[in-house]
Structure 1
Amino acid sequence: MRYTESLADSPALHHRAGKGLFFNYRSFLWLALGTLLACFASNGIWDLSIAAWLYPTFFLRFTRTHKPLIALAGVWLANVVSIIFVLYESRFPGGPTVILFGAFLIFATIFTLPYLLDRLLTERIGSRSVLLMTLVFPLGRVACEYLLSFVPFGGVFSLGYTQHSNLPLLQLLSVTGVYGISFLITWFASVVAWIWEQRFFWDRIRPLTLLYTGVLVLILLGGGIRLAFFTPSAQTVRIAGVTVSKATSRHASKYIHGEHIDLAQARTAFTIISNELFALSQREARAGAKIVIWAEKDVLTLEDDKAHLIERAQSLAQQEHIYLEMGLAVVHKQATSLELLQNQAILINPEGKVVWTYNKAHPVPGLENIPPGDGTVPVSTTPYGRLANVLCFDADFPSLLQQAGHKGIDIMLVPALDWAGIDPWHTQHATFRAIENGYSLVRQTSQGLSETVDYQGHILAATDYYTTDQQTMVAAVPIQGTWTLYAQIGDLFSWLCCAGLFLLTRLAIFMRSQPQTLAK
């Protein structure tokens, strides 16, 4: 028997081509089931990792048994439903704006394109090779995810993030980045959809089934070996993350709520917050912490008062011989509100000198109306390894964080500020950058999950803002990172997927109409 037999000989093709196909209402059940599963695989707080592997299979079953227009419309509506579900569960501050909703509709449209490509190309490519046919959908999905990583929302919708708890699988990040996991998930869907079309006839499906299973087993085995035999063994440094308590935040907010903002009252509120942060930092330093990190925008300061705040931090760092990473927001008084001018992270060394002042490279669209920073990740060599820093949403952009991996960073500091609707998944996404680039990552988060992981993704410490009043995270963090292929080659895998999709499209357009076969 021939391995890549012509689809013309397959019962699936005759089923596709029949007139009764348009009226195949049973397939709409698969669309409905896929839509339900997609809602729990959209990178939200209720994600189920298994749902990400299953829902594309049902979508492909639907699209391959309908004419292209019906297939496209059905999957697009399903994607819109899952997007609306994500907006609902994310509970954006102030609610989803028209611009935000419009952007998400565009995402739903873009993620429909891989299904359209699969529907239009697979029959022709399948006459040449079943293996190549099954690659159309995963290549299309990776190409869409990669291109969307350059828009203001970054790569938050990558399917790979749904697998955050599968450490053996996540080791693939060190080679391909998050897109390699998305490829595996969607290739699985494409293979299973084809097996379904073959009515699970073993003689037909055996070669491709064994091929995919072998690839997946090798990846999981390799990840398991990396976890078992190449665990981080370097010396560690004690790092403490501190965040203003909810009680102090409530107390301070009384001074800046009302119809008008009074400068004196605003300064009182800011002082209450900064006093607690300095006291917590001193406490952790005296308990043995060598690096102390605050959350993003944990302290607010007026532009005129910023220098005095930094002087206090310099004095504390010098007195306690620590590296102090401050997350602060520089604000300007308006009539009824405080306008954000700068979102910064400032690192001060034990000599009391400012090592860097970093401005957020990717302000959150619709929530932070400030100029972005220059996108250069700061780096400093210390007795505790090479340190680097980004702020919160910056970690959703793999290409930005890859700068640090390429520079041989050992510890990445990430002050962050979330909200209940994206807790804990936003922190879980950020930890992917540690495995990709070979460094430990410390994310201190206000109003969300604070977490420290090593370069294999092991959780070293974690605490959640909503489960404790006083959120302090202390971890022993390896001071030496590791080499990863991804840090050196970047998104080469994604570019290869884009190139592969282009070549398969050309093959489908220009190949001869006669079915060809390949030897088993």
Structure 2
Amino acid sequence: MRCQRGGQGGEKYTDTGDSAAMAATGLSATLDGMANLSYATGWRKYLWLAAGIALAVAGTNGEWAIPLAGWVFSLAMMRFARSSGVWIGSAGVVLGYCVATVVLVAASGSLTVPPILVGCVLLSLLLSVPLLADRLLCTRLPVFAATLVFPATRVALEFLLATFSPLGTVFGPLATVQSTNLPLLQLVSVTGVYGISFLMAWAAPVVNAVLERRAWRAVAAAYVAVLGLVLFGGSLRLALAPSPQTVRVAGISVSRDAEQRMHGLNNFHTPTLTPEQKPVLRKAFAELTDDLFARTRREADAGARILAWPEAAGVVLDDDYPEFLRTARELAVDKHIYLDLGLAVVQAGDPPTRDIAVLVTPDGQIESTYDKAHPVPGMENLRPGDGRVPVAASPYGRLGHLICFDADFPRTARARADIVFVPSNDWPGVARTHAADTVFRAVENGYGILRQTSNGIAIAVDAYGTPLARSDYFASTEHSMVVSMPTRGTRTIYGMVGDVFAWLCVAGAAGLAAAGVLRSSRS
């Protein structure tokens, strides 16, 4: 079987042998002879693969992210896959994703143990599935339907990974490199992060249809119309956004001097908490809490009504926890402020610590205590919390909190709030990644976010993703971030209906695959 140019920009398949000879070639030869639609031949097609790998590194939500690269790397890999036989195309795509994933994870500083390398390979295999589905189905379906295979399958995979794996949206969604594109970003208030991923993935088969001259005018017109409508609607939503009242909020991180003093006093490296360790640890941890309380008082005196600490900023022994809370409550009453405290409580037994956020009200009450729901796989030994976001009414709107990695899970972050605090603690290799991902939770749910962090990038955004403040822990010696936060959020369609769009993509991907198989069996 060979693919020939047909009239009107289409293709026709001409049988060059009898049926018995064709059947004898087996499944491998049948698949390898299909869908050679591109014009890159010989070694030239490997240029598309090389370009796809390079662009994938820049087009994924890492420290080298380039928003435009996120739109085009799938296009290049698809050109390679369609220019190759099924087995070579599949192997090339899997290899490309493996290289890009390993480079990104290594750059983040996370590639430290063999299980993580194995995880990279498994993740690469999964991320390859949408391109492989396109490779197998692109000639078995009508052209317009064929262009939907890749985006529907990609979104289905992203959604299932974010919902049922411990990775959340860290390395999955294509959309996460678009956190600064405000008109496009408004789409997630309807579809979640997956709507932008769909548009970005859809570009690859549409452009390939144009290059292959396969009913390209109608396909291109449909894509341009949908993209234009999304950008216009997003711009209109931004233009009509109200201007609510604001409250002065300060994010407080420990000074580097206090951290150095703490490390100088703490010489214990064993997870076992023994009686002889406690006095030394108590003295070391006091360096952190004293510094935090002093900075909190300073910002409260300067006019901040809400003060937020990063994840595990204060470290206290379980025995000292009641006394620590008493000090925090007295400070809240004295300054008439809300305190959102990121704490690590060191305790005997397993797990050795609790990673919590505590909200203290101006009347000295403990409004809520939230345990981190999603420990970082392979890095944190914690007993997860229930993942229910506590929301408290206040004169400054409804206040809630998550902790760091929890904001990478759209389902966990769903809450009806006005301001959500995300105390975090990163490291240089993931500073941009986590900060960018958090922006999507704000727009999805219609609340403002203040993400105060140690060892990373602290940000504040409103309910539309508009940047309000940003502070790089590594580029500044002053680790307080002061911002005027809107006291009212907004209702969103996504906040009401959840992941309906993502489930439709799951159903669509399954339906397109079934239709392709059915059409193939009939032919």
TM-score of the superposition, structure 2-length normalised? Answer: 0.90
Query: Any conservation in 2 of the 1:298–1:329 contact (CA below 8 Å)?
Result: yes
Query: Any conservation in 2 of the 1:331–1:339 contact (CA below 8 Å)?
Result: no
The one of 293, 299, 302 aligned to 1:278: 293
Query: Any conservation in 2 of the 1:315–1:352 contact (CA below 8 Å)?
Result: yes
Equivalent in the alignment of 1:222: 233
Shift of 1:17: 6.0
Instruction: Determine what percentage of the aligned residue pairs are the same residue.
Output: 41
Equivalent in the alignment of 2:219: 208
Shift of 1:464: 1.1
Equivalent in the alignment of 1:10: 10
Equivalent in the alignment of 1:263: 278
Aligned residues: 494
The one of 241, 248, 257 aligned to 1:247: 257
Partners of 2:504 and 2:68 in 1: how far apart?
27
Shift of 1:70: 1.2
Query: Any conservation in 2 of the 1:12–1:197 contact (CA below 8 Å)?
Result: no
Query: Any conservation in 2 of the 1:235–1:480 contact (CA below 8 Å)?
Result: yes
Q: Which residues in structure 2 correspond to 1:321-360 (within 5 Å)?
A: 321-332=336-347, 340-360=352-372
User: Closer, same or farther in 2 for the Cα pair 1:257/1:196, shift >3 Å?
Assistant: farther
Shift of 1:395: 0.1
Equivalent in the alignment of 1:154: 168
Partners of 2:257 and 2:12 in 1: how far apart?
63
Partners of 1:292 and 1:340 in 2: how far apart?
27
- The SS at the match of 2:477 is coil
| 1:173-200 CA distance string (max 9 Å, x none) | 10111101110001001101111122xx
User: Closer, same or farther in 2 for the Cα pair 1:252/1:460, shift >3 Å?
Assistant: same
The one of 358, 361, 371 aligned to 2:373: 361
Equivalent in the alignment of 2:246: 236
Shift of 1:130: 1.1
The one of 127, 148, 151 aligned to 1:138: 151
Equivalent in the alignment of 1:518: none
Equivalent in the alignment of 1:108: 124
Using the TM superposition, name which of 487-496 and 469-478 deviates more.
469-478
- The SS at the match of 2:106 is helix
Shift of 1:10: 1.9
TM-score of the superposition, structure 1-length normalised? Answer: 0.91
Partners of 1:73 and 1:432 in 2: how far apart?
33
Query: Any conservation in 2 of the 1:7–1:123 contact (CA below 8 Å)?
Result: no
Does residue 1:302 correspond to 2:314, yes or no?
no
Shift of 1:514: 7.5
Partners of 1:18 and 1:228 in 2: how far apart?
46
Query: Any conservation in 2 of the 1:256–1:262 contact (CA below 8 Å)?
Result: no
Equivalent in the alignment of 2:21: none
Equivalent in the alignment of 2:115: 99
Shift of 1:22: 11
Query: Any conservation in 2 of the 1:238–1:288 contact (CA below 8 Å)?
Result: yes
Partners of 1:35 and 1:122 in 2: how far apart?
22
- The SS at the match of 1:475 is strand
Partners of 1:414 and 1:31 in 2: how far apart?
39
Query: Any conservation in 2 of the 1:87–1:96 contact (CA below 8 Å)?
Result: no
Return the letter of the residue paired with 2:439: T
Partners of 2:502 and 2:421 in 1: how far apart?
27
Query: Any conservation in 2 of the 1:395–1:430 contact (CA below 8 Å)?
Result: yes
- The SS at the match of 2:316 is strand
Equivalent in the alignment of 2:308: 293
Query: Any conservation in 1 of the 2:56–2:73 contact (CA below 8 Å)?
Result: yes
Does residue 1:192 correspond to 2:202, yes or no?
no
Partners of 1:357 and 1:339 in 2: how far apart?
18
Partners of 1:327 and 1:339 in 2: how far apart?
18
Using the TM superposition, name which of 384-393 and 149-158 deviates more.
149-158
User: Closer, same or farther in 2 for the Cα pair 1:514/1:372, shift >3 Å?
Assistant: closer
- The SS at the match of 2:139 is helix
| 1:223-280 CA distance string (max 9 Å, x none) | 11111222x4111111111000112111211011356783222111111110111111
Shift of 1:41: 1.5
Query: Any conservation in 2 of the 1:244–1:470 contact (CA below 8 Å)?
Result: no
Query: Any conservation in 1 of the 2:170–2:433 contact (CA below 8 Å)?
Result: no
Using the TM superposition, name which of 13-22 and 287-296 deviates more.
13-22
| 1:388-416 CA distance string (max 9 Å, x none) | 111000000001111x1xxx311111111
| 1:348-390 CA distance string (max 9 Å, x none) | 1011110111100001111111110011111111111111111
User: Closer, same or farther in 2 for the Cα pair 1:349/1:7, shift >3 Å?
Assistant: farther
The one of 436, 446, 463 aligned to 1:428: 436
Query: Any conservation in 2 of the 1:238–1:474 contact (CA below 8 Å)?
Result: yes
Q: Which runs of 5+ in 1 are unaligned?
A: 516-520
- The SS at the match of 1:463 is strand
Query: Any conservation in 2 of the 1:11–1:197 contact (CA below 8 Å)?
Result: no
Partners of 1:259 and 1:371 in 2: how far apart?
21
Shift of 1:13: 6.9
- The SS at the match of 2:170 is coil
Query: Any conservation in 2 of the 1:21–1:66 contact (CA below 8 Å)?
Result: no
Partners of 1:348 and 1:365 in 2: how far apart?
30
Q: Which runs of 5+ in 2 are unaligned?
A: 15-32, 271-275
- The SS at the match of 1:343 is strand
Partners of 1:23 and 1:17 in 2: how far apart?
13
| 1:33-88 CA distance string (max 9 Å, x none) | 11111111121100111111111011111111222111111000000000111112
Return the letter of the residue paired with 1:10: G
